């Protein structure tokens, strides 16, 4: 490989794959490139990243935080741990040093996962850029002053100029990437997927059913439904109800794949697990999670109509729609808890 600005540095063995979510998609693509054929759904499921949490004491732009998955970075760490993979991670204080390190790895033919801010990535349409600093993607080469990027949420591989990528990798604020780079350096020759699947399901089931805090899991969904129903009591300002519901929907459908999307990915994981372990009840749980995903999408549609001040949508309807989601997830995880894997 040569290093002049006009040269092309590219790992031609790398295959870009479109994914439903950035972090699970990036990890799946990396592991596939390094020899472990694992789907995005299996990656997400093994990471035990699915959850629900509503924290009334943590504010996001003036409204309480609602989360549908584990914290950013959890999929990278937890998938590696579940499969016994040694994942090398680097962060940098100095942006120039961080860019030089990326160049060095690409020159060596490495394919590298990165964390960055969506706002500074020019291949995103302007109306889709927002200050979310935990976006994950893969770098697999360089062409002159542009980097060859495999962004899991993009249909095709894209390019990103050096200046923009540096801004995206070293942006400040919540979940600041600090130039994070990661890639596997050791993958076990023989992985016991049955054991990994069983452990991950047990962990997710505990979070969704047994976490003692009322803000987390199925209890958390019902807790939030109750708060939605009582929003007029919580605040007499009609604008607060719009902000509250709007934030829930935004966290669900715009930041990540949200409530419905993550439930569909987990349903795919359970379907794949049912085939691997020859356990039909996992397929039944998968179908319940798919129904939960549909219910979350229905809630998001109602929430959007409420925020547009449509008179046919009430807070009681929104609360009832959320309780449907809770019931499906309660049934799914109680079923999973009953299965001996």
pLDDT of residue 161: 97
pLDDT of residue 237: 82
Whole-angstrom distance, CA of residue 49 vs CA of residue 207: 10
Residue carrying the six token digits 């990471």:
47
pLDDT of residue 1: 41
Least confident of 5-9, 161-165, 283-287: 5-9
Q: Which residues sit opposite 55 in a β-bridge?
A: 65
Whole-angstrom distance, CA of residue 114 vs CA of residue 24: 13
pLDDT of residue 2: 41
Taking residues 155-174, report their average pLDDT: 96
pLDDT of residue 54: 93
- Over residues 11-67, the pLDDT tens digits come to 999 999 999 899 999 999 999 999 999 999 999 999 999 999 999 988 776 788 898
Q: What integer best gives the mean pLDDT of the chain? A: 92
pLDDT of residue 254: 60
262 closest CA partner among 325, 340, 316: 325
Whole-angstrom distance, CA of residue 240 vs CA of residue 233: 11
- Over residues 63-78, the pLDDT tens digits come to 888 989 898 899 999 9
- Over residues 247-304, the pLDDT tens digits come to 888 877 665 555 678 999 999 999 999 999 999 999 999 999 999 999 999 999 999 9
CATH of domain 8-37+86-186: 3.90.70
Per-residue burial over 137-169, b if 16 or more Cβ lie within 10 Å, else e, is bbbbbbeeebbbbbbbbbeebbbbeeebbbbbb
What is the pLDDT confidence band of residue 3, given thresholds at 50, 70 and 90?
very low
- CB burial class (10 A; 0-12, 13-18, 19+) of residue 59? exposed
pLDDT of residue 281: 97
Where in the chain are the domains? 8-37+86-186, 193-338
Taking residues 126-151, report their average pLDDT: 91
pLDDT at 323 over 80: yes
Q: What are phi and psi of 302, to 5 degrees?
A: -65, -40
pLDDT at 314 over 50: yes
Taking residues 236-251, report their average pLDDT: 87
pLDDT of residue 247: 86
pLDDT more than 90, % of the chain: 78
Whole-angstrom distance, CA of residue 323 vs CA of residue 221: 7
* Length of the chain as a residue count: 341
pLDDT at 313 over 60: yes
């Amino acid at each position: 490989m040569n290093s002049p600005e006009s040269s092309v540095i590219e790992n031609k063995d790398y295959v870009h794959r479109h994914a439903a979510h950035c972090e699970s998609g990036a990890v799946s693509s990396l592991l596939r490139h390094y020899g472990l054929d694992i789907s995005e759904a299996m990656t997400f499921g093994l990471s035990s990243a699915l959850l629900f949490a509503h924290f009334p004491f943590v504010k996001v732009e003036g409204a309480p935080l609602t989360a549908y998955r584990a914290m950013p970075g959890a999929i990278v760490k937890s998938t590696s741990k579940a499969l016994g993979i040694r994942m090398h991670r680097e962060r940098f204080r100095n942006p120039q040093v961080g860019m030089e390190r990326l160049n060095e790895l690409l020159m060596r033919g490495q394919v590298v996962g990165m964390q960055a801010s969506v706002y500074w990535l020019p291949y995103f349409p302007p109306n889709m850029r927002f200050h979310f600093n935990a976006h994950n993607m893969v770098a697999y080469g360089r062409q002159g002053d542009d980097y060859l990027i495999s962004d899991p949420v993009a249909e095709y591989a894209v390019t990103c100029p050096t200046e923009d990528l540096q801004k995206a990798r070293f942006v400040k604020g919540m979940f600041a990437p600090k130039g994070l780079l990661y890639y596997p350096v050791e993958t076990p020759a023989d992985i016991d997927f049955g054991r990994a699947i069983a452990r991950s399901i047990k962990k997710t089931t505990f979070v969704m059913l047994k976490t003692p805090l009322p803000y987390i899991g199925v209890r958390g969904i019902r807790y939030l439904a109750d708060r939605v129903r009582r929003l007029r009591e919580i605040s007499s300002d009609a604008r607060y109800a719009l902000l509250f519901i709007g934030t829930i929907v935004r966290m669900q459908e715009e930041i990540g794949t949200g409530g419905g999307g993550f439930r569909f990915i987990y349903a795919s994981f359970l379907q794949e697990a049912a085939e691997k372990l020859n356990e039909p009840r996992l397929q039944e749980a998968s179908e319940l999670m798919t129904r939960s995903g549909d219910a979350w999408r229905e809630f998001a549609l109602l929430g959007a109509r409420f925020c547009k001040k449509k008179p046919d949508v009430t807070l009681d309807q929104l609360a009832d729609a959320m309780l449907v989601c809770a019931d499906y997830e309660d049934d799914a995880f109680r079923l999973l808890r009953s299965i001996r894997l």
